[in-house]
Structure 1
Amino acid sequence: MRFVRNFLLGAVAALGLVLPAVAAERAIIVLDGSGSMWAQIDGKARITIARETLHEVLSTLPDDLELGFMTYGHREKGNCADIEMLVEPATGTGAAIAAAADGINPKGMTPISDAVRLAAEDLQFTEQKATVILITDGLETCEVDPCALASELEAQGIDFTTHVLGFGLSDDEGQQVACLAENTGGKYLSANDGDALVEALTTTVAQIAQAEPEPAPEPEPEPVADYNYKPTASLSEGGPDLASDNADLVWEWYKVAADGSQGDYVGTDYNSDFEGSLEPGDYIMTASMGYASSSQPVPIEAGKVAEPHFILNGVILKLHPRPSEGAEVDDNASIEIRHAGEYVTTNYGDTNLVVPAGALDVDVSIGAATVTRSYDVAAGETIDEDVIVGVGLAKVTSLYVEGMPVEADIFIEVFAAQKAIDGGRKSVAYQYGGDLDFELAQGDYVAAYRLGGAEGEVPFSVKTEELTEVAIVLDAGILAVTTPGDKYVEVFGAAKSIDGSRKSFHYGYGPDVQAALPAGDYVVATTIGDAVTETPVTIKGGERFELTVEAAAGKTK
């Protein structure tokens, strides 16, 4: 990853040497500071990757670039007005922007549209040329249409442009924010890891910082054609050309590096009817739909139209997860897809994806119930299947005694009833609370509970499409001990074992120690100074026993 970043940064520096010096544009970077930026990519939080990217990319900027920095969702949860300009546009702000990004603590909403509008207004976009670079890992959550906003800003601005860097967005999600760029003449770039984000931001900022001056007007040659390449793609060799008018089919093109490998990024476009123009030269193009893709060299020659065809070797996977026969599709069902043993993606609910052909394994989960489907599919084929997971509902209710529900956060863990050869059992699911629902596959289970010193197990069975009510009656009460200061308290069972020891049920430090205990006799041992006070108590189911230990050793009440 470091090699790729250094290579890209070097490329930007090289641009600064070969292009003529010009007056820099004014621009603002808007960084997503919403709570979703804590999600991880390859074990590292997205906000951390974004911070590192800003440090590396901005360290190479020209001193005369006027650049500002704005964020949103970083101070409050649920507040669509939580937008803040952290660094006003000025020259030499690279270090200040990187430092400001280090201080962002993601936590709130994603008011993309209002943030872009405020950035445009700060740049006086109705009076002069202005550019906004939006880095986001989520979609608009504040009920403003980003597409309509982009059209409005384009109509009002002198020369206003928004570039959007979609960080960790799926293709479908990317298209919901790409219009911010497309409607203002900007670019939408997708980045799914740190390397890709460095590349996308480097490309975008370099275009702003190193824009070539307007050349002297020259007579335009007679156009040979409106375009010089028109690509097509199919899922399989000999299969029909793909038709796409919803940005499902994506074209990306790159320059060819000196060693013949993929070099600098050139552009991206969408849909099957795309027609484009490139400077004559050698390129590497990639066609992709969903998770199937294909790349090949494409030479562009003056006066000719290149018509490359791409074979994606993909299949259409349509899966409809249902808890039982005849039930509605579960929108919360998790569908994990692997190709040749390698993870591809996880989708939720009704699924319609293009994935690579070959050996596919799919885990479909509803609650704690999972079924696995395996397929060996040839390119161009379609799998369209209802996946019946077979789910029943276990409703677990916890009571101190009959008629007295547990309101505290009792811990419930569900295990498969059958034990392994070593005596252990497989953990299936767990939750906290006195009234819980577990979606489980048909079978036999054990609900293990623990609340303070009260613990035990309750066996139960689940059947598909049926509700199983599981009542856990603790036959327990509450012991509340008050001590003078932070004294150590430990609760033992009154009965001693054959070796004279007693079972410890709970311990803690005063002045207030409270525990749920099964009905029975106990000894409360309190350490005050060098003295240990032992007080016998009896706990009754459904009742509260309050004990105050005084400072003088040996005195209780």
Structure 2
Amino acid sequence: MCRFLTKFLNRGDVPFVGVCGILFVKFRIPMFKLFSTCAGLAALVAGISCFPTNTSAQESPGKTIIILDASGSMWGQIDGQPKIEIARNVIGELLNDLDPNIELGLMAYGHREKGNCDDIELLVPPGKVDRGVFQEKVMSIIPKGKTPLTDAVEQASNYLQIEENAANVILVSDGLETCDRDPCVLAAELASKGIAFRTHIVAFDLTAEESASFRCLADETGGTFLQAQDASTLKDALEIAVEASSVAKADMPAKPEVKLDPATLNAPESVPAGSVFEVTWEGPNNRGDYLTVVDKEADDGKYGNYAYTRNGSPSKLTAPVDPGLCEVRYMADGGKVLGRVDIQVTKTEGTLKAPSEAVAGSSVSVEWEGPNNKGDYITIVAKGADEGAYRAYAYTANGSPAKVRALPDAGEAEVRYVTGQGGKTLVSVPITITEADVVVSGPETIDAGDELTVDWKGPGNQGDYITIVKADAEEGKYNSYAYTKNSDDGKVTFTGVEEAGEDYEIRYVEGQEGKTLASAPIIVLPVSASVSGPESAVAGSEIEVEWIGPKFKGYYVTVVEKSAEIGKYERYFYTRNEESPAKVEIPQIAGEGEIRFMTAKGNVLASAPIQITEATAAFTKVPEKVAAGGKFRVEWEGPDNKQDFITIVLPDAEDGKYNDYIYTHNGPDQDLSAPDEPGIYEVRYVTSRKNFVLARKKVEVVAE
């Protein structure tokens, strides 16, 4: 702990106090920036337990709840991957490296309904982490709704009982409050209730005005407020937040005195708009000091793109995207300007060369010239689309020409060169999107659950697929499907649906936005099946089952306990691989059983009862004594089911343990080897799979 405190006191970071509280991570980042967020977020959470102590519960970090934003904006893409997928992956990586002693929970909002501010759910109560369950819950989160972040923080704090316990909440969000709650009112309540409670905020790509709407959550609870705009500043901010979250409130050092000595800056006279440039500086380097570049007339305290001074001189800054006279400023705690220097931001231009027409959904080659700043991209949008709008895109960093997919809809459109910073269009050219010639055709009818072959004609772009759905299904819905890219002959084969009906259709769906480009009607006919077997059978034995029914891919026959859930199975055979009758092994537990004819998706087409009787066994001949390491034979009566075996072990050995063994179905003419160590042992008859011991007999192993 002392080693950490020494490091903390010598750092030049934003001040913070306390340990237990809410860590607020606000995501609203340009598309090219989130991958750096991922590593930082994993480090952020893992850091909660980086510094174990033997302090009391009130002095320790306490339990933690991750609140994951599942509002609709989490479908926004970064480098072609939705933010929700990136968040899922980050949490998955976090779970793999998590301190096993940390007590972690999971909450989400906006994942079940659109427009419902009450859509908040605790998916995993905080406790020792079951990684499989936690990851399954994370992967099940589908963004849909609003951003009730204030209610979510309040619910988490109530669950954690902050009046009595230290606690942490980590909020991962990419937007501001949208449900008519005032975060500052809640902040005051939390500050008055929590015995060891803080709210930490790391605000990503938000203006000072936006940040002010929730900064109170940190200020009122004695927490940490940090800004982050890109990979570098995000990493810095998360490191500070991790250290703040890993130290108990009673152990935090006092806030050091802020030095306000003048700073000197040296920057280029001019830089192109949106470019990265270096600034050398000398200054006090207080915790949280930073350099920023803003309009020359901006009020003191305003900030634009920035870099923390803690990383040393020179610092790298990104110029604003709009040209004009600007100022580089050295900023200290509270928005005090300790130094400034003028810099001229010059206009950048670009050119585009693209075809005048393109088929909907096709790949379009676009030649471009431009500044090629970080995050700049080429996109195709509808004519007159809002500034910053994008559909499919290609980063300029990948070179010219760029390959961009055309819109799925016919009509007038634009090819645009868009800056990564601010989403400003530098140049655009018109393009007309023409209808794609797309056709699908298949059989008029198909048996429920059977495979179908579909002929198709269309663009065959990456992600395009053929599926079968109800005719009134929403756009983008699918059941089983096949990608067109995997077809060389204009045909695809895949499994149909298991529910019969006359209102289905085959669809060709483009992979970019899930739009249906062509469809054809199809009727799904019902199928039937039957199964029969003996009225009763011994547990674990093999029986013959007569069956009639479809021999579709994945259809099978199994025998289970009558009370088994639909979809559960034991031993089975695939109907497509067998003729009737066929053999199947029954469960090893006595009771009422059921023979089931199952579909590939676990539905029951037919069933028949069977009484499973208890399996018994007895040893009829076992020698009283055998020589250590010698061979001997035993005789028995039993079911002799496949893979039942006889072994010799110590009397206190767990059921299922074995040394040398023989399979009972091979008959009594087999030698069993005695252990080498003398002593009292036990000969056992053991069933396959469940390892039930049906019979046992003592035997003495003696030295020769």
Q: TM tier, shorter chain? A: 0.3 to 0.5
User: What is the TM-score of this pair, normalised by structure 2?
Assistant: 0.36
Q: Would you tell me which structure has more strand in proportion to its own residues?
A: 1
User: What is the TM-score of this pair, normalised by structure 1?
Assistant: 0.44
* Structure number with bigger Rg: 2
